[in-house]
Amino acid sequence: MPSKYSTKNPEVWVPSSEEDARKEVPFLIKLFKKYGEVKSVLDVGCGMGRHAYLLSQKGYYCEGIEPHPKMVKYARKHYPNVTYKVNNMQNIKYRNKFDAVICIFSIIVFNKSNEEAIKTFNNFYNALKKGGVVIIETYNAINWLANNSFRTHFTDIDKKAGIKTIVNENINTNNQSYISERTYYRIKDNKKLGSFAKESRMFFPLELKFFLESSGFRVLTMLSSDSLSKMTLKDNRLDKRRLLVVAKKIN
């Protein structure tokens, strides 16, 4: 569960800084241009609102949804020209409104059951206009198997924020999920600031393809790289840390 610290400082939940987002948005635009005719975008799990804002600066109409009110409050304060709403992917009710839906940085893993996943993918389908595209980017579970890369303990250092994060993770084999426990310390005096734990669904490439096709999409490409900011259209060997799937609404 989130600590008081992580609730008051929602930026610690979001893996992409604004600097990172500025590197990632051009690749998203490249995908929009290659696979669709995109003018409007729904950012599902928009976090602090950075990607939606940067896309709006490039001329796209954007809306962001995010279940955490603190993040939406931050987004509205810092990026007032974009519409941000408190909602989650299982409950959105849009109909034929957007040319693209993006769901990046492993937001999709919060569909812990197959039933939740099916509901979410159906909601994405309904939110899109005919021919619209969905872009999903998440942890690539097969990377852990192919490269024996699952880490049970590691430390992240954010010198700019002055925060050290101790991470402990393990796999729940019954739920096909991994549990991540994070504890935050202030670097200058090693004072503990707070902690939180989350459980996330592990998705494999063909599993995502199955869910998308079952919801009426046609998968156009699947890419894999160590990060979204470094991904290219040639990264089609699906064994890297991050997985990206582009699919089109066909009816």
| pLDDT of res. 46 | 94
Low-confidence ranges of the chain (pLDDT < 70): 1-7, 10-16
pLDDT digits (tens, 9 = 90+) for 105-143: 999 999 999 999 999 999 999 999 999 999 999 999 999
| pLDDT of res. 226 | 96
Distance CA 82, CA 75 (A): 8
Distance CA 241, CA 138 (A): 9
Contact of 228 with 22, CB cutoff 8 Å? no
3-state class of 78 per DSSP? helix
Q: Across the strands, what pairs with 225?
A: 242
| pLDDT of res. 2 | 53
| pLDDT of res. 23 | 93
What's the pTM value of the predicted model, to 2 decimals?
A: 0.93
